[in-house]
Amino acid sequence: MREGITSRQAGILCFLMMMSSKLLALPSILFQETGYFALVIIFILLSFETLLLFIFIKLKEKYINLTFYEILSKILGKIVAKIIYFLFSLYFLLAIVHLIYDNFIYLREAIFEEARIERFLLIFLPVICALAYKGLNSLARTAEFFFVFIVIGIVCCLALGLSSISEFTLPTFENISFGLTFNTLFSYLFWFGDFAFFLIIIDKIKVKNGFGRTIMNYTYFCFLFIFIFYIIFYEVYKNTSFMHNNAITDIIALTNQVGNLEKLNLIALLVVMFTIFYQGGVLLYSLNQSITTIFPKSIKVQNFITFIITIILLFLFFFYSTQKIHVYLEDYGKYLALILFLIVPIYLIFQIIFDKNKKKIKKGVKNEKIN
């Protein structure tokens, strides 16, 4: 059975990937750097990410059935395409390690008091391997199956957070400069490349009229959620926002207890737990696809074993390092992100606009059969 996902499934994956790590430590980190201006920073970065996805969708509309490698080969040549794919592989690898790191710390603090690394990895890695190994179809369907519950969980968190706000105050932006803004935007670029996976699965999305709109609708939905989340978080904690590293749990910690409802943070925990598996699965799948593109003769099983060993080693390196992974990503990851999410997309934009061989989706394209 040929792999292919519907636009709804693609939209759901985009939704889940966009939420990756943005609801944990990032709010407090941004607040520490820029205060309430973090709201503007997050708005700009989310808009940037959405724009990236828009470009990718336009690319898909133009080159309907081609893989991203074929598109790059056509534009830039095979060698450059392989280099870009290598960089993407590096990005996915770092993104997985970042995901594991952030969520291990979070779960250890929230619920697993004596969690050890090996136990967490033993649970997490096999399942994301299974998700990635079994193919995109089943991964997308599983995400589709649990999507409603995840959204309900997020809405509950937002609603409970909203009820925690004692009074709305207008945020004040102090000591803001263009340099600070630019520096912050650049430093956190790595966190906002979640749609890189979209390029890898670009050929596997079934095309029908309005598929781009469907995917963008889910993205806007997520954008709205995240932005409202940040507003609520900063309104709840105001000037102590920098103290709270587990935003999604902390946002409901101060809920006015109606009827002595206790331990509502389980909702946030479940949302995070479900989401990290899909995020890990998508990233690992994308990593595998990238490596397979660079080395077409590689064997799938061996690839996965290599990935697992590499992820474990990288994770241990960052975990036992003197600095947090966030610092490394701020210092070095931003350059990788610059190439992949700024330079390459800009080139792609020009290609989309100025390429003479334009192909448009014919109207009346029939829906593909369920497979």
Partner 1 sequence: MKKLISVLIKHPILIVCLIVLIVYTPTALLMPADTSQRAVITRIGIDSAPEGVEVSTIIFVPTPNTSYTENYKLFSAKAENVSLALQKISAYSGKKIALNLTEMIVVNEEISNSDLLEVIDPLSRSTDLGNDTSLICTNQSAKDFLNATLNLNSASDLNIENLVNYSKDKVYNTDSNIESFYQGYFSPQKISVLGYIELTNGETGLSTSGGSSASGSSGEGTSGSGQGQSSGGGEQQKNTTLLNEGRVAVYKEGVLDRVLTQEELKGLNWFNPRCNESYLKVENVTDDIFNNATITFKLLRKKLNINVYFVNGVPVFEGTLKLIMDVDQVSQEDLDSDSLQPELSVVSPELRERINITAKQEFKLVQDLMVEEKLDLVNAYTLFSTYCPRQFKSFLNSLDDSSNFLEYVIFKLKVIPHVSI
Partner 2 sequence: MFFNVEKNLNYFKSKLNNNFDVSSRTIMVGETKLGLLFIKSLIDKEVFVNSIMSPLLEFEGKNLNFEILENDVLKIFELEKIETDKDVITKLTQNNLIIFIDGEKGAIATDMEKAPVRTPAEPPTSSVIMGPREGFVEDVKSNIALIRMRLKTDKLVIKDFEVGRYTKTKVCIFSIDGISDTALVKKVEKKLESIDIDGVVDSHYILSFLQEGKGLLFKQVGTTEKPDIVVAKMLEGRIAILVDGSPIVLTLPFVFFEDLQSSNDYYTNPLYVTFMRIIRMLGVFLAAILPGVFLSFRLYHYKALPLKYLITVANSTQGLPFSPFVEMVFILVLFQILYEVSLRLPRYLGIATSIVGALVLGDTGVKAGLISSPVVIIIAMSIIAVYTVPEQAPQLTVLRVIFIFLGGTLGILGIVAGMIYFVNEMNTLNFYDVPYLAPYAPRISSDLKDALFKASVTQMEKRPVITKTKNKVRLKK
Amino acid at 174: E
Query: Nearest approach, Cβ of 186 to partner 2 (angstroms)?
Result: 35
Size of the site for partner 1 (CB under 8 A): 23
Query: Nearest approach, Cβ of 170 to partner 2 (angstroms)?
Result: 36
> Which of 1, 167, 356, 369 lies at the binding interface for partner 1 (CB under 8 A)?
167
Q: Candidates 126-134, 143-151, 214-222, 269-277: pick the segment binding partner 1 (CB under 8 A).
A: 126-134
Which value, in Å, is the radius of gyration of the alpha carbons in the chain? 21
Out of partner 2, partner 1, none, which partner does residue 169 contact, by CB within 5 to 8 A per kind?
A: partner 1
Out of partner 1, partner 2, none, which partner does residue 210 contact, by CB within 5 to 8 A per kind?
A: none
Q: Which residue, 8 or 238, has its beta carbon nearer to partner 1? A: 238
- Determine, following the binding rule CB under 8 A, whether residue 359 of this chain makes contact with partner 2: no
What angle, rounded to 10 degrees, do the helices at 7-18 and 38-62 form? 150
Interface mask (CB under 8 A) for partner 2, residues 21-40, using x and -?
--------------------
Interface mask (CB under 8 A) for partner 2, residues 259-298, using x and -?
---xx-xx--xx--xx--xx--------------------
> Which of 77, 78, 80, 122 lies at the binding interface for partner 1 (CB under 8 A)?
122
Out of partner 1, partner 2, none, which partner does residue 107 contact, by CB within 5 to 8 A per kind?
A: partner 2
Out of partner 1, partner 2, none, which partner does residue 213 contact, by CB within 5 to 8 A per kind?
A: none
- Determine, following the binding rule CB under 8 A, whether residue 258 of this chain makes contact with partner 2: no
Query: Nearest approach, Cβ of 36 to partner 2 (angstroms)?
Result: 32
Out of partner 1, partner 2, none, which partner does residue 32 contact, by CB within 5 to 8 A per kind?
A: none
Out of partner 1, partner 2, none, which partner does residue 172 contact, by CB within 5 to 8 A per kind?
A: partner 1
Q: If phi over 0 gives left and psi between -120 and 50 gives alpha, with beta otherwise, what is residue 238? A: left
Query: Nearest approach, Cβ of 251 to partner 2 (angstroms)?
Result: 17
Interface mask (CB under 8 A) for partner 2, residues 39-78, using x and -?
----------------------------------------
Query: Nearest approach, Cβ of 296 to partner 2 (angstroms)?
Result: 24
Binding residues for partner 1 restricted to 10-39, rule: CB under 8 A: none
Q: Which residue, 75 or 264, has its beta carbon nearer to partner 1? A: 264
Cα-based angle 135, 141, 144 (whole degrees, multiple of 5):
140
SS3 labels along the chain: CCCCECHHHHHHHHHHHHCCCCCCCHHHHHHHHHHHHHHHHHHHHHHHHHHHHHHHHHHHHHCCCCCHHHHHHHHHCHHHHHHHHHHHHHHHHHHHHHHHHHHHHHHHHHCCCCCCHHHHHHHHHHHHHHHHHCCHHHHHHHHHHHHHHHHHHHHHHHHHHHHHCCCCCCCCCCCCCHHHHHHHHHHCHHHHCCCHHHHHCHHHECCCCCHHHHHHHHHHHHHHHHHHHHHHHHHHHHHHHHHCCCHHHHCCCCCCCHHHCCCCHHHHHHHHHHHHHHHHHHHHHHHHHHHHHHCCCCCHHHHHHHHHHHHHHHHHHHHCCCCCHHHHHHHHHHHHHHHHHHHHHHHHHHHHHHCCCCCCCCCCCCCCCCC
Q: Candidates 105-113, 178-186, 280-288, 339-347: pick the segment binding partner 1 (CB under 8 A).
A: 105-113
- Determine, following the binding rule CB under 8 A, whether residue 238 of this chain makes contact with partner 2: no
- Determine, following the binding rule CB under 8 A, whether residue 169 of this chain makes contact with partner 1: yes
- Determine, following the binding rule CB under 8 A, whether residue 228 of this chain makes contact with partner 2: no
Asked whether the beta carbons of 136 and 360 are under 8 A apart, the reply is: no
- Determine, following the binding rule CB under 8 A, whether residue 171 of this chain makes contact with partner 2: no
Asked whether the beta carbons of 315 and 97 are under 8 A apart, the reply is: yes
Cα-based angle 303, 199, 52 (whole degrees, multiple of 5):
140
Phi, psi of 5 (to 5 degrees): -120, 155
Interface mask (CB under 8 A) for partner 1, residues 207-246, using x and -?
------------------------------xxxx--xx--
